[in-house]
Amino acid sequence: MRIQLLTVPYDSGHYGTRMGGGPDALIASGLPARLSENGHDVRCVEILLPATAFPAEAQSAFALDRLIAERVRDSVAAGALPIVLSGNCISSVGTLGGVAHGRIGIIWFDAHGDFNTPETTIGGFLDGMALAVATGRCWTSVAATIPGFRPVPEPCVLLVGARDLDPAERKLLDASDVTQLPPPRFRALFGSALDDLASRVSEVNLHVDLDVLDPAEGRVNVYAAPDGLRIDEVVSAIEDIGRRFAIRAAALTAYDPAYDGDGRVRAAAARITSSIAGAASLRTPGT
């Protein structure tokens, strides 16, 4: 199928540093060639802030989201699957703007909840609020500047693999309608959670923060947390998702190459990307 790899090489507004180095490292490691070998037609598009932009975290993140929304929209209009390679998870809000055309669900793989709000966060990191923004809990005025963005209703969200939550964030999540599938629940209940989601939506945005992986599979970033998912579990989950849903857009985020000395995370990311492309092909006519 046609695939556009949209790279967003920033972390907190800073170009190429920390997790912002992840997208280019994945491209340089041969991700596009691997997808081509699998029979896909691959294009790469880099999304950049104006060179004069001052890197303020929230402002830069939402400026990037506006650009991401436009590129994702163009990509979908061209019949391609947009796969966003981004330093930060907040890119998902731009992606949702680009695909928004009615009812879409989110399947969000992450070690973390990303469900803090400015009132619950104890660290202040915007990425820890990404899913809360996507579901319309906070930053609503600036999120409304993203072309096409509409919050996704919480019953249409699966949070997979999250096990490192702040206390107030956990309370918020527990009181929300987001379906939480931390690793043990994921292993027991993923199939029925997909069936339940399928009663509400037929299309999904598939978001993979690579730190959902167990550190034994390779260390993804400074935020890595123990007791995560094995690569085989993530790949098999993606195949299940592709059998039940049309995957409209996807993302791989939060890869910091500085922690990946042995290249195992890079290899895992390539495998996950290939499985996303294969899973998305199942429900896309003519590919």
60: closest CA among 142, 121, 117? 142
Whose tokens are 């556009």? That residue is 4
What is the distance between the alpha carbons of residues 259 and 218, in angstroms, rounded to a whole number?
8
Minimum distance, C-beta of residue 281 to Mn ion, in the bound complex (Å): 26
Q: Toward Mn ion, which CB reaches closer, 127 or 154?
A: 127
Minimum distance, C-beta of residue 113 to Mn ion, in the bound complex (Å): 9
Residue 175 CA to its chain's centroid (Å) = 23
Q: Toward Mn ion, which CB reaches closer, 86 or 273?
A: 86
Asked if residues 155 and 177 have their Cβ atoms less than 8 Å apart, the reply is yes
Taken in order 224, 93, 171, 126, the sign of the CA dihedral is positive
Q: Toward Mn ion, which CB reaches closer, 32 or 113?
A: 113
Burial class (CB in 10 A: 0-12, 13-18, 19+), 170: middle
Angle between helices 231-244 and 183-198 (to 10 degrees): 10
Minimum distance, C-beta of residue 125 to Mn ion, in the bound complex (Å): 10
What is the distance between the alpha carbons of residues 152 and 176, in angstroms, rounded to a whole number?
13
Asked if residues 159 and 185 have their Cβ atoms less than 8 Å apart, the reply is no
Minimum distance, C-beta of residue 78 to Mn ion, in the bound complex (Å): 28
Minimum distance, C-beta of residue 152 to Mn ion, in the bound complex (Å): 16
Q: Which two tokens stand for residue 131?
A: 């899913």
Minimum distance, C-beta of residue 90 to Mn ion, in the bound complex (Å): 9
Q: Toward Mn ion, which CB reaches closer, 89 or 268?
A: 89
Taken in order 78, 240, 104, 225, the sign of the CA dihedral is negative
Cα pseudo-dihedral 132, 133, 137, 142, rounded to 10: 160
Q: Toward Mn ion, which CB reaches closer, 128 or 278?
A: 128
Q: Toward Mn ion, which CB reaches closer, 35 or 89?
A: 89
Minimum distance, C-beta of residue 74 to Mn ion, in the bound complex (Å): 25
Q: Toward Mn ion, which CB reaches closer, 109 or 190?
A: 109
Angle between helices 231-244 and 264-282 (to 10 degrees): 10
110: closest CA among 247, 212, 5, 8? 212
Q: Toward Mn ion, which CB reaches closer, 80 or 254?
A: 254
Binding positions for Mn ion, rule: CB under 5 A = 89, 110, 114, 209
Minimum distance, C-beta of residue 211 to Mn ion, in the bound complex (Å): 7
